[in-house]
Chains A and B, each alone.
Chain A
Amino acid sequence: DQQVKQNSPSLSVQEGRISILNCDYTNSMFDYFLWYKKYPAEGPTFLISISSIKDKNEDGRFTVFLNKSAKHLSLHIVPSQPGDSAVYFCAASEGGGADGLTFGKGTHLIIQP
């Protein structure tokens, strides 16, 4: 039973356009959500996070939106750059981020020139 779902295994976006990555969750106890970025042969690196008390968090080109009623979050990257090509993982935690994370299976984002 997957508690965090990323239904798009891959996404192709043109350079300069907006990339939107989606994530759904089923566990209403999750109170902290994170996005990680992963390049081949490297560990995931933290990108951006959001607490369940907020509905939006922005950091430069990256914005995460949280819709608690729909149990849905999304990551917006604008404008998309070639270096953004990577696998993006959505993750969630029940302990405010201090507990282990439950990950989605990832979305492979490909930025085309």
Chain B
Amino acid sequence: DAGVIQSPRHEVTEMGQEVTLRCKPISGHDYLFWYRQTMMRGLELLIYFNNNVPIDDSGMPEDRFSAKMPNASFSTLKIQPSEPRDSAVYFCASSSAAGVWQYFGPGTRLTVT
């Protein structure tokens, strides 16, 4: 298996622009998670899905952030409009219903100038 795939790996954008991060979970996994890593706050959960349905989005920082999972093999995290404080590494992870640990993708490093 290719593991969790994220794209792009790096994104540099200007403040005010829309940013879309993409994730393909491991085939057969029922859960998908979005995390953000910053120096100040470390790794924090933003939102997670079970069978394509959002279960807990309490970690989404603001209305500027939105996440979707239109099917079992694809999810997006969108920031509109982006701000410099959104600069971070965004990780996607997936797990199976029977599994108890999550497999992480390589992350997308976002820089908003």
Chain A residues within CB distance 8 Å of chain B: 32, 34, 36, 41-46, 49, 89, 96-106
Contact = CB atoms under 8 A, between A and B. Distances in A.
A101 B45 contact: yes
A98 B100 contact: yes
A51 B29 CA distance: 21
B74 interface: no
Contacts, number: 53
B101 A49 contact: yes
A103 B33 CA distance: 13
List the 6 shortest-distance A-B pairs measured between CB atoms, nearest first. A97-B100, A43-B104, A100-B45, A105-B42, A103-B43, A46-B101
Given A100-B56, A102-B45, A106-B42, A43 B101 contact: no
Interface in B8-46: 31, 33, 35, 42-45
A98 B42 contact: no
Sorting the interface of chain B by its residue count into under 10, 10 to 19, 20 to 34 or 35 or more gives 20 to 34
- Chain B contact residues: over half helix, strand or loop, or mixed? strand
Contacts of A45: 104
B75 interface: no
Given A49-B101, A100-B33, A100-B48, A43 B42 contact: no
A49 B45 contact: no
A97 to B, nearest CB: 3
A44 B44 CA distance: 13
Contact of A32 (B35, B59, B100, B105): B100
Given A43-B91, A43-B93, A103 B104 contact: no
Contacts of B103: 46
